[in-house]
Structure 1
Amino acid sequence: MNITTGKVPKAQKVVLYGVEGIGKSTFASQFPDALFIDTEDSTQHMEVSRFDKPTSWTMLMQQVEFVKTNRPCRTLVIDTIDWAEEICKKHLMAANGWSAIDAEGYGKKFAALATEMGKLLDKLSEVIDVGINVVVVAHAMLRKKEEPDEMGAYDRYELKLEKKTAPLVKEWSDNVLFAKYMTTILTDSKTNSKKATGGQRMMYTTHRPAWDAKNRWNLPDELPFEFAQIAQSFAEATVGVGQPVQQPPNQPVPTQSEPAPIMPPENDVPLPEPQPDFSPDPIVEINPAIPKPVADLMVHDRVSFEEIMQVIYVGGFMPADTPVENIPPDLWGYFQANWDKAVNLLNTKIRTF
């Protein structure tokens, strides 16, 4: 049995939410070596690294998987999780033939949404396990809160997510930071009129009746909304995480017990070491009649126009030689939601190797 003491550095799971326009994306961009999955084009004015905007739930999940497998950054930023939830809703609607995500059937649709969002959080945890920090950005919303043992109700800031999804995101995170403008109310002693002043951007790190927040860095309850305010605590929590393993100092040099390596002749040029191929995928020509979410998946998986049409014909979805312009939108929606099945049909019954 192994027993350890002291703090264990690890990649951090941070949820950052706040009111509109306060600078959440800018704050998130200051985490080390940040790479954005920008679901709402909020970083187009910023000098940051980003994936193409995900146009489907499958594409978003592929981007997270790419980060886990290839480790192209030290921090992955989902900006924002509430827009990602909207992409997830469209995915479920297309996959199940639903016209909306609502409480029909005793909340079955909201439960399905929470399950699918949970899959995203599980995949983000896998990113954490390989030493990459994850920052989840979200908008804030005001919701009326009523306590059964108190008189009346009050407004409370919460994550702008569905009621079954928000608790999952909060429980998943190590730190939930809430940002808003601090406003001071001044009262004129002569006229008793009130005037709002101030507007300083503030960050709140602990739970209050008026908002959700938590942290494991022993931060003060209230701080200016600046990355410098958490930089030291973040660095201490992640020291050494995601860094290459260093050889311990003063290691003895191995004795020359093995034969010396054979050197190439003077006229020969040594071959370079093989390097992983991160070059862009070859361009796939996409017919403009194909919706962009499906087109993006085709480009990612190198599926040509002729191949997707063969999937439609061989799969029995439409008669052979049906023009692409006559493919109904709900069939494209089905492919978007069941892309793995379409690719499997392509690989097993259409492509020849």
Structure 2
Amino acid sequence: MEVISGKVAKAKKAALYGPEGIGKSSMASQFPRPVFIDTEGSTTELDVNRLPKPSSWEMLKQQVQWVKQQGSRFGTLIIDTIDWAEMLCVESVCATHNKKGVEDFGYGKGYIFVAEEFGRFLNLLSDVVESGIHVVLTAHSQITKFEQPDEMGAYDRYSLKLGQKTGSRTAALVKEWVDMLLFINYKTFSVAADDKGSKHKAQGGLRTVYATHHPAWDAKNRHGLPDEFPLDYGYISHIFSGSTQPVNPSSASAQTTQVPVSQPPQQQQQHAEPAQATVSELNPNIPQSLRDLMVQHKVTEADIQIVVGKKGYYPQDTPITNYATDFINGVLVGAWPQVHQMIKDFKASLPF
């Protein structure tokens, strides 16, 4: 057995949360060589590198995998925001099980399915961290009622805006997963009353980062940060400025810088360009979640129709726009890796 002593320089896992418009994305943009996956389209005013807004849970996962394959091209992957990513997760789980909402499962099973799928997503982000890339999650905050089991009464506190129902487990998963959970809020210096003492107004408004746990909010860090400090990246830059190494350097050296799209064999290269030309002319009425995946993987409408027809779901000549919405979301988008593999297998069997 090998004993490793001292600190290990590796990429970090952090989460920034607070009310809307306080500057979470702006602060995240100062991390080393950031690339954003903008799940809610809120970074349009920032001069940053970003991937297209994911229209499905599957597209989001593939974007994360692509960033991992870029090696040292990016230093930080930012999911902005993780609560909007959670909505994609819930939609995917409901579509896969043909449910209209997470409450339709009954007995809290929907929240269990969501937590399991969300946990697999965090494992995927852990792979990104192990490749030497920091991961930063931004999230909105919410005020929840909290009651300690050993004390009388309850009080309000700020927490991650994840899984607002009591049966949800995603917020706890994120808090356990990150190394650093920073709460950003406007600091109230005092509360002033009018002459009659009946009306009270808060005074102050300095944007402040809270780095340690408090009864009124969730926060943590493992780097000896002060309890609070101004919203300035300089206070935490030393944590992320050091060099990081992949956990398995040999595997990192084998990574490619191309989008993870399967390439046809050499004898099929002559057919790649016509297929791409057809993809560019996809029916604009195809749902965006499916259309984005088709464009990303150079899949044509005919490719989808063939495998759907072979499985007996719809006649082969049925246009994709005539497919049921539940079938598109639950089968084609929800099980896209399997659908794409069927398309590749079919093309590989064709005589050229």
Instruction: Please classify the TM superposition score into its range, dividing by the shorter chain length.
Output: 0.7 to 0.9
User: Could you tell me which residue of structure 1 aligns to residue 306 of structure 2?
Assistant: 310
Task: Output the amino acid matched with 1:217.
Answer: H
CA contact (8 A) 1:74 1:242 kept: no
* TM-score of the pair, normalised by structure 2: 0.85
Give the alignment partner of residue 230 of structure 2, picking from 210, 218, 224: 224
Cα distance in 2 for partners of 1:3, 1:200 equals 46
Cα distance in 1 for partners of 2:259, 2:178 equals 34
1:68 paired with 2:68, answer yes
Task: Output the amino acid matched with 2:115.
Answer: A
Q: Secondary structure at the match of 2:187?
A: strand
Cα distance in 2 for partners of 1:153, 1:277 equals 52
Unaligned runs of at least 5 residues, structure 2? 247-255, 262-275
Deviations 1:34-83 (A, max 9, x none): 00111000111110001111111111111111111222301000001100
Deviations 1:263-289 (A, max 9, x none): xxxxxxxxxxxxx77489856221112
Task: Output the amino acid matched with 1:346.
Answer: I
Shift in Å, 1:134? 0.4
Shift in Å, 1:103? 7.1
Give the alignment partner of residue 208 of structure 1, picking from 200, 206, 214: 214
Shift in Å, 1:186? 3.5
User: Once the two structures are aligned, what percentage of the paired residues are identical?
Assistant: 44
1:135-150 pair list within 5 angstroms: 135-150=136-151
CA contact (8 A) 2:31 2:240 kept: no
1:181 paired with 2:182, answer no
Q: Secondary structure at the match of 1:106?
A: coil
Provide the aligned C-alpha RMSD in A.
2.1
1:286-325 pair list within 5 angstroms: 286-325=282-321
Q: Secondary structure at the match of 2:103?
A: coil
Give the alignment partner of residue 326 of structure 1, picking from 310, 322, 328: 322
Bigger fraction of residues in helix: 2
CA contact (8 A) 1:131 1:242 kept: yes
Cα distance in 1 for partners of 2:215, 2:110 equals 29
CA contact (8 A) 2:64 2:124 kept: yes
| Closer, same or farther: CA 165–189 of 1 in aligned 2, 3 Å | closer
1:334-345 pair list within 5 angstroms: 334-345=331-342
Deviations 1:273-309 (A, max 9, x none): xxx7748985622111211110111111111121112
Cα distance in 2 for partners of 1:186, 1:328 equals 56
Cα distance in 1 for partners of 2:134, 2:309 equals 44
1:161 paired with 2:166, answer no
Cα distance in 2 for partners of 1:73, 1:18 equals 25
Deviations 1:153-193 (A, max 9, x none): 11111111113011111111100000000113343585335
Cα distance in 2 for partners of 1:98, 1:287 equals 27
The structure number with the bigger radius of gyration is 1
CA contact (8 A) 1:311 1:350 kept: no
1:33-44 pair list within 5 angstroms: 33-44=33-44
Give the alignment partner of residue 243 of structure 2, picking from 240, 244, 250: 240
Cα distance in 2 for partners of 1:186, 1:135 equals 34
